């Protein structure tokens, strides 16, 4: 029964991703980063090295996706600043992994939360204008 529920969740989640607009996809990436950071923090506290490595590897990959999604030409200084900030976060996650330290993960989670809050606060009409360009 539980397997069926998990499969249904995964199928629904995949359908949601496939139909999502670019704005929603970025928001989902940020949400997954936060989830993986929390899981990695727990793994560090429980001394589960394999799980920690897996979660932090996902975080680094997702941060790389955020970097790759930036339009450096249209975004100008904002895109450059975000690119650098995402790079800093990758560095912090790497240090957390090497040192088994949760403090850098808390910092990265705070930064992602702040960025996600601003991103999710973009009004729908502005999102639509960007989509139509």
Any domain includes 28: yes
Cβ distance 112 to 30 under 8 Å? yes
Q: Position of tokens 């249904």? A: 8
CATH code for the domain in which residue 92 is found: 1.20.120.340
Any domain includes 16: no
Structural domains in the chain (count): 1
Any domain includes 2: no
Any domain includes 126: yes
Least reliable range by pLDDT among 5-9, 83-87, 129-133: 5-9
pLDDT at res. 16: 60
Other C-beta atoms lying within 10 Å of the C-beta of residue 24: 14
Any domain includes 9: no
Any domain includes 32: yes
Q: CA nearest 62: which of 85, 30, 84? A: 30
Q: Give, in degrees to the nearest 5, the angle at Cα 73 between 68 and 77.
A: 90
CA dihedral 24, 61, 57, 3 (to 10 degrees): 40
* Per-residue buried b or exposed e for 29-61, using 16+ beta carbons within 10 Å of the residue's own CB: bbeebbebbebbbebbeeeeeeebeebbebbbe
* Distance between CA atoms of residues 42 and 61, nearest Å: 19
Q: CA nearest 52: which of 97, 83, 90, 91? A: 97
pLDDT at res. 18: 64
Any domain includes 106: yes
Any domain includes 84: yes
- Which one has a higher pLDDT value, 20 or 99? 99
Which domain range does residue 120 map to? 24-131
pLDDT at res. 17: 59
Q: Is pLDDT at 35 greater than 50 in this prediction?
A: yes
For the full predicted model, state whether its pTM sits above 0.85.
no
In terms of C-beta density within 10 A (0-12 exposed, 13-18 middle, 19 or more buried), how is residue 117 classed?
exposed
């Amino acid at each position: 029964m539980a397997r069926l529920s998990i499969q249904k969740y995964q199928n629904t989640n995949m359908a949601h991703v496939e139909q999502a607009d670019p704005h929603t996809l970025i928001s989902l990436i940020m949400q997954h980063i936060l989830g993986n950071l929390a899981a990695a923090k727990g793994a560090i506290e429980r001394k589960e090295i394999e799980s920690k490595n897996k979660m932090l590897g996902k975080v680094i990959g997702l941060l790389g996706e955020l970097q790759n999604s930036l339009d450096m030409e249209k975004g100008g200084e904002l895109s450059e600043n975000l690119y650098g900030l995402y790079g800093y976060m990758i560095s912090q996650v790497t240090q957390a992994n090497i040192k088994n330290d949760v403090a850098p993960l808390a910092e990265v989670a705070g930064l992602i939360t702040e960025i996600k809050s601003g991103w999710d606060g973009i009004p729908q009409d502005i999102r639509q204008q960007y989509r139509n360009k």
